[in-house]
Amino acid sequence: MLTVYIMGKGYRVPEGLTIMKAMEYAGYRLVRGCGCRGGYCGACATVYRLPGDYRLYADLACQTTVQDGMYIAQLPSTPAERADYQLSQVAPRGEALLALYPELARCVACNTCTRSCPQKLEVMDAVQAALRGDIRQVAELTFDCVQCGLCAMRCPAEIAHYHVWQLARRLCGAYLTPRAQHLARRVAEVESGAFDAELDRLMGMGKDELAKAYQARDIEP
């Protein structure tokens, strides 16, 4: 057993639990601060300190193991405004990000964002790429972002990083990447009814006939 301080109160919990499970073990029925429980949704942003260490750490409660003497506080939500836009009206030019999120220019390159990212992304590099107008690079650097908001809560320049990244990725996906030609062709074929006869035939089959057709499928290597 070890002791953790949840919002200042000490509790004895077994070793090897995640912060999330330790809080539950201690008696918390979580409402906020718990979503996917698997490191994908960013609901469980948590800050903590360790005894004898001045540093403030930031991580996901569902992916971090408790340590003896840990002081834990969860962030129930991140207040951060998202710019108002319609994707179709944003030109995918370099200035787009800065125009909607001018506070990007306040970055002092302190690297706190990078240090507080539980996904270990190069957050500050992404800010710099955004300032240079390199939307593709922003999108690639931030693809694994779970939007937990920890960088935004710690940023002295008060940037709401994850909203910027979201816009960059959508611009990249929609406008900076070629569309799939085979996909466009297939959509047109479906619309023209090219597969209707075959689908009708399959729908009319009894179970035995279907099972035979299923077993006889050729499987792409």
Partner 1 sequence: MATYPKEMQESIVQVEATRPQRMKARFPRLSLAEQEALLRGFHPDYKEGGKRPLQVGPSQGELVPHEVADLLEAYPLLDPREVDLSKVDYDVDVLVIGGGGAGTVAALWACEAGIPADRILIATKLRHGDSNSMMAQGGIQAADKPHDSPAIHYLDVIGGGHFAGDPKLVRALVQDGPMIIRWHEALGVMYDKGPDGTMITIHGGGTSRKRMHSAKDYTGMEIMRVLRDEARSRGIPVLEFSPAVELLTDVHGQVAGAVLWNLETEEYLIVRAKATVLATGGWGRLHIQGFPTTNHYGATADGLVLAYRVGAKLRDLDSVQYHPTGAAYPEQLVGLLITEKVRGLDAQPVNRDGELFVHPLEPRDVESAAFIRECMPLEQGGRGRGVVTPTGMVGVWLDTPMVDMIHGKGTFQRALSSIWRMYVRFDIDPTREPILVYPSLHYQNGGVAIDENGWTGIPGLFAGGEVEGGVHGKNRLMGNSLLDYNVFGRRAGLAAAAWAKDARVGRLTLAHVKRYVEQLKAAAVPKERRAPLLLPDYRGERVLARMVDLL
Q: Helix, strand, coil proportions of the chain in percent (round to 5)? A: 40, 10, 50
Of residues 21, 37, 136, 154, which one binds ligand FES by CB under 6 A? 37
**Could you say whether residue 41 binds ligand FES (CB under 6 A)?**
yes
CA atoms within 13 A on the CB side of 11: 20
Name the one range near ligand FES by CB under 6 A: 39-47, 80-88, 109-117, 192-200. 39-47
**Could you say whether residue 62 binds ligand FES (CB under 6 A)?**
yes
Of residues 34, 117, 152, 155, which one binds ligand FES by CB under 6 A? 34
Question: Cα–Cα distance between 199 and 52 in angstroms, integer?
Answer: 68
**Could you say whether residue 60 binds ligand FES (CB under 6 A)?**
yes
Question: Cα–Cα distance between 66 and 23 in angstroms, integer?
Answer: 10
Rounded least distance, CB 39 to ligand FES, Å: 5
Name the one range near ligand FES by CB under 6 A: 31-39, 64-72, 93-101, 191-199. 31-39
CA 205 centroid distance within chain: 44
- 157 CB neighbour count, 10 Å cutoff: 16
Question: Cα–Cα distance between 163 and 161 in angstroms, integer?
Answer: 6
Helix (H) or strand (E) holding 74: strand 71-74
**Could you say whether residue 72 binds ligand FES (CB under 6 A)?**
no
**Could you say whether residue 130 binds ligand FES (CB under 6 A)?**
no
Residue 53 binding: pick among ligand FES, partner 1, none (C-beta 5-8 Å cut-off by kind): none
**Could you say which residues in the range 135-164 bind ligand FES, by CB under 6 A?**
146
Phi, psi angle pair for 2, to nearest 5°: -140, 170
CB-CB contact of 74 with 153 (8 Å): no
Rounded least distance, CB 113 to ligand FES, Å: 18
Size of the site for ligand FES (CB under 6 A): 13
Rounded least distance, CB 21 to partner 1, Å: 7
Q: Nearest to residue 64, comparing CAs of 158, 159, 150, 126?
A: 150
Of residues 19, 44, 66, 172, which one binds ligand FES by CB under 6 A? 44
* Positions in the binding site for ligand FES (CB under 6 A): 34-37, 39-44, 60, 62, 146
